[in-house]
Homo-oligomer: A and B are copies of this chain.
Amino acid sequence: MTNKLNLNNLTKSEEDYLKALFQLLVEGGSAKVGNNQLADYLKVSPASTNNMIKKLKAKKYVASEKYGKLELTEEGKSIAVRLIRKHRLWETFLCNYLNFSWDEVHEVAEQLEHIKSHKLINELDRFMDFPTKDPHGEVIPNADGEYSVLPKITLSSLEEGAVCQLVSVNDASVTFLKYVSEIGLALSSEIKVLEVREFDSSIKIQFNNIEETVTRKFADNVFVKVI
């Protein structure tokens, strides 16, 4: 076992930074993540990020050279995955048991993911009978931190004529999620790319016999599986 009994003495902030790094590096699939990019993502100043990275390097959760790209150590990744597991399990609970809708769960889950109790999260998992996907279609890591990071293909990356299935959506923006629901898209919806307009990268799509034109920004937040 690589995992020594982790006391998880991390602050909320430290956890936030590790999770953000993981999301950019691993889930986002970026080859290189820099200090300013992380700052941008977390909506803090580059100076704050720089400071925190120093601390996380001292604690061996992050590895990087001066002026070099940021990377997570195994321990850092492990912590991030556990946070993602907690976040997604709570989102699932809120949606399936407490009448929360798609777009309401993220903010509350951001708070709940920092609650420190192994028993709590594992019992919650059992209570829900070990769900594998959260309400936005994202895979939930299991208790050992194992899960498949699907290579995320965005709707915006497809070419004209492609047919795909909606597998997940970026849950970070309430207005985006509301919009998705309103036009009638749902997880597993089958989408056909009718036209990609060169001028502004907007895309005309078809689903459930509906035709819609969506912006590039929208399509960047929709993750699909080609079929």
Q: A-side interface residues toward B, CB under 8 Å? A: 94, 97-100, 104, 107-108, 111-112, 115-117, 119-120, 123-124, 126-127
Tell me the number of copies of this protein. Answer: 2
The majority secondary structure among interface residues of chain A is helix
Closest 4 CB pairs of A and B: A98-B123, A108-B117, A111-B115, A108-B120
A98 — which chain B residues lie within 8 A by C-beta? 119-120, 123-124, 127
Q: Are B97 and A119 interface neighbours, CB within 8 A?
A: no
- The answer for the CA separation of A127 and B100 in the assembled complex, in Å, is 12
Q: CA of A97 to CA of B98 in the docked complex: distance in angstroms?
A: 14
CB distance B97 to A127 under 8 Å?
Answer: yes
Q: How far is the CB of A98 from chain B (nearest CB, A)?
A: 4
Question: A52 → chain B, closest Cβ, in Å?
Answer: 20
- Contact between B100 and A111 (Cβ–Cβ < 8 Å)? no
Partner of A108 from the list B97, B99, B111, B115 (CB cut-off 8 Å) is B115
Residues in chain B near residue A117, CB distance under 8 A = 107-108, 111
A74 to chain B, nearest CB (A): 27
In the complex, are the beta carbons of A123 and B100 less than 8 A apart?
yes
What's the minimum C-beta distance from A111 to chain B, rounded to whole angstroms? 5
